[in-house]
Amino acid sequence: MYLNRETVIHPLYVPDIETSGTSFFIKRDDLIHPFISGNKWRKLKGLVEAPEFKNTEHFITMGGAFSNHLLALAAYGSIAGVKTTGLIRGEIVEPLNEHLFWCKYWGMELIPVSRSDFRDVETLRGNFESGLNTCFIPEGGATQYADVGFQHLVDELPEYFEHIVIAVGTGTSAMMLAKALEKREIKSKVWGIVVMKTSSFSANLILEKPANLTWVLNNAVGRYGYASNDILEFGLKLSRKNGIVFDPVYTAKALFVTRALALDGVFKQNKKVLFIHSGGSFGVSGFKTQYSSMF
């Protein structure tokens, strides 16, 4: 299966920080594959390529109705000729949103699970995982194999960047990236921009992290899946200036906060900041109504 394993890095235009003295760059992990992109492939790579899973015939995973992880696994399963099942939190509403439509397009079986049952991951695993050829993947693709893809990401960096920024949902990607840098003895500082309000972010992740990782918690980002008009307008300007799709759920919101850090002088002058585009561009489709009012 062809995937663009090593993605390009080029300058990134970030609005309103021309005088900050900071140089911004972007690693285009959104170009790995149209559907299996960004951190979703980085987290899946180690698992699906591990020898112990080479004979897997059925991957089962779980997620919300707008899960990029579900979409990535559905596309991977179709291309690799492997059955996939997605356990969906809550009801499956018809007509399907674009995420679930594309999951079905790629052949994924979708099963609704009540919100209370969804929280009981081990019971779900026991109910759905059966046989040696079935593999259950937790929500978001967070497994012990996730570090492999991020080690490869670090190996792809052509030069040293003082700061590396990545959007944070579950926190797995930022943790794996920071650990991969430590393993390679690279002194870059990782900034994990949390895309939900502080009360929704795991306290365990705040406490348990590598020394080179800083969580950036900002209640101005709102709840997960929400984007204010300021963030939507910023994301639209960002996309049009760079010719890159930035979704309001993850990447546009993360860069909105990153810009605030730059304006506050967090990144010192003459330093290079690398933003990891973690994919998820389909998230734009959930904001069609709000965007239409801005056109």
Q: What is the pLDDT of residue 269?
A: 77
Contact 204, 214 (CB under 8 A): no
**264-269, long-range: CB < 8 A, 24+ apart:** 265/20, 267/20, 267/22, 267/162, 267/163, 268/21, 268/22, 268/162, 269/20, 269/21, 269/22
Interhelix angle 147-155/172-183, nearest 10 degrees: 50
| Residue range 69-88, pLDDT digits in tens | 999 999 999 999 999 999 99
On the question of pLDDT at 25 being above 80, the answer is yes
Q: If we measure between CA atoms, which residue out of 72, 83, 5, 81 comes closest to residue 40?
A: 72
Which range, 142-151, 170-179, 182-191, is most confident?
Answer: 182-191
Q: What is the pLDDT of residue 204?
A: 53
Among 36-45, 89-98, 201-210, 252-261, the range scoring the smallest mean pLDDT is 201-210
Residue 3: which pLDDT band, with cuts at 50, 70 and 90? confident
Q: How far apart are CA 166 and CA 277, in angstroms?
A: 7
ω into residue 158 within 30 of 0, thus cis? no
Q: How far apart are CA 165 and CA 41, in angstroms?
A: 18
Residue 205: which pLDDT band, with cuts at 50, 70 and 90? low
To which residue do tokens 């992109």 refer?
A: 37
Burial state string for 24-61 with b = 16 or more CB within 10 A and e = fewer than 16: bebbbbbbbbebbbbbbbbbbbbbbeeeeeeebebbbb
On the question of pLDDT at 170 being above 90, the answer is no
| Residue range 272-288, pLDDT digits in tens | 999 999 999 988 988 98
Return the structure tokens found at 64: 């919300």
